[in-house]
Amino acid sequence: MKVFNFIVDIQRFVEDKRNEGLKIGFVPTMGALHEGHLSLINRAKKENDIVVCSVFVNPVQFNNPADLEKYPRTPELDIEKLQSAGCDAVFMPSVEEMYPEKVDDHYDFGDLERVMEGACRPGHFNGVAIVVRKLFEIVTPDRAYFGEKDFQQLAIIKKMVNILQMNIEIMPCPIVRENDGLAMSSRNVRLNAEERALAPKIHSVLKSASSKLNTMSPQEMKDYALSKYAEIKEFEVEYVEITDENNLRSLNDWRDSNHARIFVALQLGPVRLIDNVRILI
Ligand code: PAF
């Protein structure tokens, strides 16, 4: 596997592959790789000739400086894991390489960015769009792979690709969970043993709430999930939302959507965790 730190070098690599007529699959990450990321690499390998991964902790998408500072960074381990997974190239730029000057782009994602993560983390999705656009322009992939744990991010990236008319297929991939149901996340390593033991409740509450479709309205389901989370004093819930999957608008009536999801964001000890589950209407 090739490891590139500079834009010109990864550009030369992908250009050569393109000239050979090869299809490029791309997995953008912020590193601290886990099985969830590796499942994206595996899928990209099946569907493309070449797989490129990026590892870059993107400062412009962090609205909380402490979160940026504490974000886990394990570059050597990431390289080993990517190599074993059969990734062809990894792009690991420095902040100076990616942002030689301050970037001031502003995107308007409309209602998509006014709810949930967009409402709780002002500027976050603009920062995600800035880096993903830049990475897409550097790597020029045919397909790019994103996990559904960051479901709203996926919707934002699809919209960005539409706005910019980029010829890249965005491939959503299912959430990968630990055996006890906790959604895999690079942030999980920051939970202590006690917090880690409570964390699977995040998913089990979503699952039990989503199974009450036939007996509860969306508001009742949301209240049910909130009441279950309130039983665990270590959980500081930021939001529980039930929305249509496509436009992410809050649902008042199941008849208003064919595809709904229930979402949660909560603080557990030092870590902010998110999760979501599809509601089978
Ligand atoms: O999901 C992530 O890890 C990041 O938001 C992404 C897409 C790599 C952009 O920095």
Q: Render pLDDT for 2-22 as a digit per residue (tens, 0 to 9).
A: 999 999 999 999 999 999 999
Residue 9 CB neighbour total at 10 angstroms: 13
Question: What is the position in ligand 1's atom list of the atom closest to the CA of 61?
Answer: 10
Instruction: Choose which residue among 132, 186, 274 to substitute to test ligand 1 binding: the one with the highest number of ligand atoms within 8 A of its C-beta.
Output: 132
- Does pLDDT of 252 surpass 90? yes
Quote the radius of gyration of the chain (alpha carbons, Å): 19
Whole-number Å distance, alpha carbon 253 to ligand 1 midpoint, is 32
Whole-number Å distance, alpha carbon 129 to ligand 1 midpoint, is 9
Whole-number Å distance, alpha carbon 49 to ligand 1 midpoint, is 23
- Does pLDDT of 281 surpass 90? no
237-257 average pLDDT score: 97
In sequence order, the 6+-apart residues with CB closer than 8 A to the CB of 180 are: 200
Collapsing DSSP to helix, strand or coil, 278 comes out as strand
Whole-number Å distance, alpha carbon 269 to ligand 1 midpoint, is 23
Query: Model confidence over 199-239: pLDDT tens digits?
Result: 999 999 999 999 999 999 999 999 999 999 999 999 999 99
Question: What is the position in ligand 1's atom list of the atom closest to the CA of 30?
Answer: 3
Instruction: Choose which residue among 26, 90, 128 to substitute to test ligand 1 binding: the one with the highest number of ligand atoms within 8 A of its C-beta.
Output: 128
70-91 average pLDDT score: 98
- How far apart, in whole angstroms, are the C-alpha atoms of residue 192 and residue 93? 31
> To 10 degrees, the CA torsion angle through 220, 222, 226, 227?
20
Give the pTM: 0.97
Query: Model confidence over 107-139: pLDDT tens digits?
Result: 999 999 999 999 999 999 999 999 999 999 999
44-65 average pLDDT score: 97
Active site residues: 37
pLDDT value for 276: 99
CA-proximal residue: ligand 1, atom 5 (nearest): 128
* Ligand 1 binding pocket, CB closer than 6 Å: 28-30, 58, 61, 128, 131-132, 150, 153
Q: Write out the DSSP string of 145-185.
A: EEEGGGHHHHHHHHHHHHHTT---EEEEEPPPB-TTSPBP-
Confidence label for 77 from pLDDT (cuts 50, 70 and 90): very high
Phi-psi region of 269 (alpha: psi -120 to 50; beta: other; left: phi over 0): left
Instruction: Choose which residue among 55, 58, 175 to substitute to test ligand 1 binding: the one with the highest number of ligand atoms within 8 A of its C-beta.
Output: 58
Report the chain's mean pLDDT, rounded to a whole number: 97
C-alpha 252 chain-centroid distance:
26
